């Protein structure tokens, strides 16, 4: 089982601030996915990155896949209270899809 380390574990910021969440592993992945989970719900996919060095933007969210396909980052610009949730990275390798422990983000008005 490939281990994915996410940091920080918790993040509490005010509306309008920027933040970056990291996902690191010693393993190489064929792709890396980012999910967001709200209380009482299952995770929902935000983005999939496949190519080393790839950068994807989704409105105020910017995702980057490391050149070696072992790590990824999620940057949120001008965070809003609606961004509050648990952000999970998941690495795909072979048949398995394994998740990190997540970053719990709280954005206060």
- Nearest approach, Cβ of residue 16 and other proteins (Å): 26
Place of tokens 């010693």: 26
> What is the number of H-type helices and E-type strands within the chain?
0, 11
Is 28 one of the binding residues for other proteins (CB under 8 A)?
Answer: no
Instruction: Give the binding range for other proteins (CB under 8 A) out of 14-22, 25-33, 62-70, 73-81.
Output: 25-33
Within residues 50-89, the interface with other proteins by CB under 8 A covers 50, 86, 88
- What is the C-alpha separation between 3 and 25, in angstroms, rounded? 6
Looking at the Cβ atoms of 61 and 88, the one nearer to other proteins is: 88
Is 20 one of the binding residues for other proteins (CB under 8 A)?
Answer: no
Among the listed residues 39, 40, 20, the one whose alpha carbon sits nearest the alpha carbon of residue 89: 20
């Amino acid at each position: 089982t490939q281990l994915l380390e996410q940091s920080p574990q918790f993040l509490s910021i005010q509306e309008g601030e920027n933040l970056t969440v990291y996902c690191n592993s010693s393993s190489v992945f064929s792709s890396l996915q980012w999910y967001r989970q709200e209380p009482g719900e299952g995770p929902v996919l935000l983005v999939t990155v496949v190519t080393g060095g790839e950068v994807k933007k989704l409105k105020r969210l910017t995702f980057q896949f490391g050149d070696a396909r072992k790590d990824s980052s999620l940057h949120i610009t001008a965070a809003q209270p609606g961004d509050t949730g648990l952000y999970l990275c998941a690495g795909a390798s072979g048949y398995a899809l394994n998740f990190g422990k997540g970053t719990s983000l709280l954005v206060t008005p």
